[in-house]
A and B are shown apart, each in its own frame.
Chain A
């Protein structure tokens, strides 16, 4: 169980998060959406133990997070830079396995197996910089999944992919989630994606001082399908609700309430 208790974060004078409380049960796939710059990455970096907590507390299974927790994996927003260009794709994926005391051959075998799952077995020996953006993204995902994390943090991991690859990776993530049962915190700016993937969607309000604006359970059947699920009336209704929550302050300020309609029609 991951818990945030009245978490507030700031960079110096610049306040980002204010009084964020959440508890994420084991095995939940939580999607976090919110306007750009509201502090989604900051939230993930705090959970990962990369940013010291300013106020409040982050606990995992009752233990306070002070450094990088055990069995945690992160897919960073800037995935291209997060790969190490001086290592081959396979060695990038094998790197986190050093912690697990595996021998070199075992690490490589595991890495190759994981690359197969993301469809990159043919590129194992190439360098990350020789791959396309979408391929690099899949390497970053393979590197996160290879340690079989119990808590997986993903920061807009499918942001720059073409629709087809994106759908494939979404389904891969759902499959991994079903089989490995990790708790996943998935940040995205795509409202559709958050509803399609999530067991629950949390909307952060615009910063500074962003809070949890909405916290919605997603009551869709666990088995999801790119075409069928997105056509369900519940899906459409949820998507509209999340969309309204994300736009809430902007709509109140500049537009009228009618703004919700195009969202529904889309």
Chain B
């Protein structure tokens, strides 16, 4: 059943990606990016369209908007605190709640044959629903505002974590469970020393997928009426004012933010899993 679930993989499962990236990849990444930005820059200048400002102006604008603050504020402006702050807060709250719920339920479902049999169809169904489609439901239940936004984030981000944790916990080497029994570990110790570490690579695979979903849902939920701040709100607001430069700056900001968060998560993963560990 695990194999079938893994093969029917959609966005919620990834093959465990090795944390080591070859040096060649790192060397190739930057020239390609530089060339892409260069082409974009010259094309945008040649066209001179207000809808497609050159990247240099976008970056300059982003800098003026958010990163020209005083040193004491880490160069962040008040506007940065007002837009990026609330968004990151929602993301962090949603992500942490999703991680806690996903890992807890995932271990419970993964370790119990009966719970797996009961929950698997529900989980498969729930994770198949495109997350943004659920936002209107949360709007009805919770009304507009931060609770609704956090709820949409949690409800979409929880599935990849849950499914991956459950599969990871289920795949715990039976010999290691025998070892735990012979060493007379308590259930809590067994969880801490055997099951969780076995599932950890899969847990992180889930967390990485969830992190990108969190970013998407954060922006999406902030696009809805009833929002007063946040990155998504700034996006709609700038659009309604035909302030294309700000729209572009927001897009760049989102890209950078997503990249930074992912890098941070990878660093945590590398620390926890070690580099040469074989399970």
Binding site for B on A (CB under 8 A): 45, 48-50, 68, 72-74, 76, 78, 81-82, 84-87, 95-96, 98-99, 127, 129-130, 143
Contact flags B260-279 to A (C-beta < 8 A → 1, else 0): 00000000000000101111
CA distance A98 to B197 in the complex (A): 18
Do B189 and A50 touch across chains, with their CB atoms under 8 A apart? Answer: no
The interface residues of chain A, by DSSP majority, are classed as mixed
Picked from B176, B197, B274, the residue with its CB within 8 Å of the CB of A82 is B176
Do B193 and A84 touch across chains, with their CB atoms under 8 A apart? Answer: yes
Do B184 and A129 touch across chains, with their CB atoms under 8 A apart? Answer: no
Residue of B whose beta carbon sits closest to that of A100: B184
When distances are taken between beta carbons in the complex, the residues of chain A under 8 Å from B276 are 127, 129-130
Chain B contact residue count (CB 8 A cutoff): 20
A81-B175, A95-B185 known, 9 other contacts, Cβ within 8 Å: A45-B178, A74-B182, A85-B279, A86-B274, A86-B277, A95-B193, A96-B184, A98-B183, A99-B183
CA distance A147 to B221 in the complex (A): 57
When distances are taken between beta carbons in the complex, the residues of chain A under 8 Å from B194 are 84
Do B193 and A48 touch across chains, with their CB atoms under 8 A apart? Answer: no
B271 to chain A, nearest CB (A): 12
CA distance A72 to B184 in the complex (A): 9
When distances are taken between beta carbons in the complex, the residues of chain B under 8 Å from A96 are 183-184
4 closest pairs, A vs B, by CB?
A86-B197, A96-B183, A74-B182, A99-B184
Is B10 among interface residues, defined by CB-CB distance under 8 A? no
When distances are taken between beta carbons in the complex, the residues of chain B under 8 Å from A127 are 274, 276-277
**B165-188 at interface with A (beta carbon < 8 Å):** 173, 175-176, 178-179, 181-185
When distances are taken between beta carbons in the complex, the residues of chain A under 8 Å from B183 are 95-96, 98-99, 143
Do A50 and B182 touch across chains, with their CB atoms under 8 A apart? Answer: yes
A89 to chain B, nearest CB (A): 14
* Given known A-B contacts A72-B182, A95-B183, A82 and B175 have beta carbons under 8 A apart: yes
When distances are taken between beta carbons in the complex, the residues of chain A under 8 Å from B189 are 98
B277 to chain A, nearest CB (A): 6
Do B173 and A81 touch across chains, with their CB atoms under 8 A apart? Answer: yes
Residue of A whose beta carbon sits closest to that of B273: A86
* Given known A-B contacts A86-B277, A127-B277, A129-B276, A81 and B176 have beta carbons under 8 A apart: yes
Picked from A45, A76, A130, the residue with its CB within 8 Å of the CB of B179 is A76
Residue of A whose beta carbon sits closest to that of B194: A84
